[in-house]
Amino acid sequence: YLAGVPRIVTGAGLMNITRFADRVTMQVEFTHQYRVIYTDGRPHLHKSVKLWNGDSRGRWEGNTLAVETTNLNGYAWLDLIGSFMSSEATVVERVTPIDTNTIGWTATITDPSVFTRPWTTRWRFVRDPDRREIWEQACVEGNQYGLWPDVREREFGHKAK
């Protein structure tokens, strides 16, 4: 399965965001996902095309990237316990640098089929000071060191290096 939008942003592991002239890309360690947010003004795909990460179109409002995502397939969960949204949902994200090492991210989800009103979630992301590269996320039996840092420390007493 893929995490989908907006959960792709909050998955475990590293995330690499790259800005190009016509798009912003996200490479995510969690389940080897990537996302392309076109910023060149192209229209959304036809509503019959449904994708795990939807169809994202962005525009710059000063230093804030405003993104509207439609065409979600309705299979992705919003969390680990199964909260969901339908294929009719729309996600509007706002990505704003707070300082040179911090990004503020909000996502407002509108889905009249599931929710009585739109709701917003917020995150802050901090730049990885070690600038580690994204590696394959592999599930290997007995691989206690491939676990997320908080689980690794709690369960095995090993701190991330």
Q: What is the pLDDT along the chain (161 residues), one digit of tens a residue?
A: 677 888 888 776 788 899 999 999 998 887 778 899 999 999 999 999 999 999 999 999 999 999 999 999 999 888 877 889 999 999 999 999 999 999 999 999 999 999 999 999 999 989 888 877 877 766 656 555 555 555 556 555 555 55
Q: Which two tokens stand for residue 156?
A: 């095995």
Is residue 34 within 8 A of residue 27, CB to CB? The reply is: yes
Is residue 158 within 8 A of residue 150, CB to CB? The reply is: no
85: closest CA among 118, 133, 48? 118
Q: What are phi and psi of 117, to 5 degrees?
A: -160, 160
Q: Which two tokens stand for residue 131?
A: 């600038």
∠ CA 138-143-146, nearest 5°, is 60
Cα–Cα distance, 13 to 85 (Å, whole number)? 24
**What is the DSSP-derived secondary structure letter of residue 141?**
T
Q: Note if the pTM is more than 0.85.
A: no
Pairing relationship of beta strands 64-70 and 90-99 according to DSSP bridges:
antiparallel
